[in-house]
Amino acid sequence: MRYYITGHTGFKGAWLTQILVAQGHAVSGQSLDPIDGSLFELAGLSELLEHDHRIDIRDAAATQAALALAKPDVVIHLAAQPLVRASYEDPQETYSTNVMGTMNVLDAIAHVESIKASLIITTDKVYRNINQLAGYKEDDPLGGDDPYSASKAMADILTQSWVKSFVSPPTAIARAGNVIGGGDVSRDRLIPDLIHAFTNNTPALIRYPQAVRPWQHVLDCLNGYQLLVEQLLSGGGAGAWNFGPPEASVIPVAEVANLTAEEWGQGATWSSDGNEHPHEAALLTLNSDKSRMELGWKDKLSVQDAIRWTVDWEKQRTNGKLVRQICRNQIEKFLFLS
């Protein structure tokens, strides 16, 4: 099977690339250049790809040409401006990338006959957040109080409209929450910030210690995406799907910080930074019953396991083990879990 991943140089994209290659698939990708110290670079993933395109998804003509060249069976659209705080700093880039970029990808997909299925990745933040305790279901209203959340809700609605309005291959939308795992170096993310501080023997500063989030390992999330693609290829799976962890893994930022510090050891500590920050949701959870019942998906790793795997990954890298081998070992271990 031939896969095409947009955003393949990002955190999820780099892990997904390695999973697909390990399973014997041919993979091509389209993305901006990876950030310094990225998993993509550390694992040398460019050499595993059939095509490694550095093309902005806002370039419609180049996106269509690259996709036509790759002739994939499956497209997984991950490319995005993914950060809430960055969306306040540059809202125009956020909207143009997440909305118009998604439209360019959808339009390019419609022009490539080889494509049998496409999966558009949005986020748990597409829902109109009213801080409810119950997890949001796929048919709950969409919204967004910050530019990032609003732009992803718009991309989600755009995708729903597109597949109803134009001839397209079987298409689904996946909505997931906070994923963690080894090799994430993005700014303004909890685990990377904690690991960076702990590595440098400095206290980590946390913005919103009491904010509650759904935490899951990146391999659990990507396993859901793969099951959904399989469903699309077998004639089902259209529409929107949530991939969030069980209730036990929906915990406050402070608890995740405590668990990570404990796992890291060496006197690792953190504290609240006490400063004013742009709005972020205080409570956000997903109801993933649909994915569990209809796809047979579930998280294989608890939040404690996910943190343990992440810290272990980082410690192995610090000790000089080859990054691609660390990833391969964790992927193989994950696939054998029930």
Sorting pLDDT into bands at 50, 70 and 90, what band is 292?
very high
Distance CA 323, CA 311 (A): 14
Burial pattern 163-180, b for ≥16 Cβ within 10 A else e, equals beeeebbbbbbbbbbbbb
Q: What is the pLDDT of residue 179?
A: 95
User: Going by C-beta distance under 8 Å and a sequence separation of 6 or more, which residues neighbour residue 311?
Assistant: 195, 260, 263, 264
Q: Which helix (H) or strand (E) holds 3?
A: strand 2-6
Model confidence at 273: pLDDT above 80: no
Distance CA 119, CA 232 (A): 9
Are the CB atoms for 144 and 89 separated by under 8 Å? no
Q: Which of 21-30, 185-194, 290-299 comes out lowest in average pLDDT? A: 185-194
Distance CA 179, CA 186 (A): 12
Model confidence at 261: pLDDT above 90: yes
Mean pLDDT of the chain: 94
Q: Which helix (H) or strand (E) holds 312?
A: helix 303-318
Q: What is the pLDDT of residue 276?
A: 64
Distance CA 136, CA 332 (A): 32
User: Going by C-beta distance under 8 Å and a sequence separation of 6 or more, which residues neighbour residue 29?
Assistant: 4, 5, 6, 7, 8, 9, 13, 17, 49, 51, 52, 53
Convert the pLDDT of each residue in 230-239 to its tens digit: 999 999 999 9
CATH number of 2-184+215-245+285-305+323-335: 3.40.50.720
Question: Which DSSP state fits 72?
Answer: -
Convert the pLDDT of each residue in 137-194 to its tens digit: 999 999 999 999 999 999 999 999 999 999 999 999 999 988 999 999 987 789 999 9
Domain locations in the chain as residue ranges: 2-184+215-245+285-305+323-335
Distance from CA of residue 291 to its chain's centroid?
Answer: 17
Q: What is the pLDDT of residue 158?
A: 98
Sorting pLDDT into bands at 50, 70 and 90, what band is 278?
low
Which residues make beta-bridge pairs with 31? 54
Angstrom CA distances, 48 to 45, 82, 101, stand at: 5, 25, 25
Model confidence at 325: pLDDT above 90: yes
Express as a percent the part of the chain with pLDDT over 70.
97
Instruction: List, as one string, the DSSP characters of 119-151.
Output: EEE--GGGB-----SSPBPTTSPB--SSHHHHH
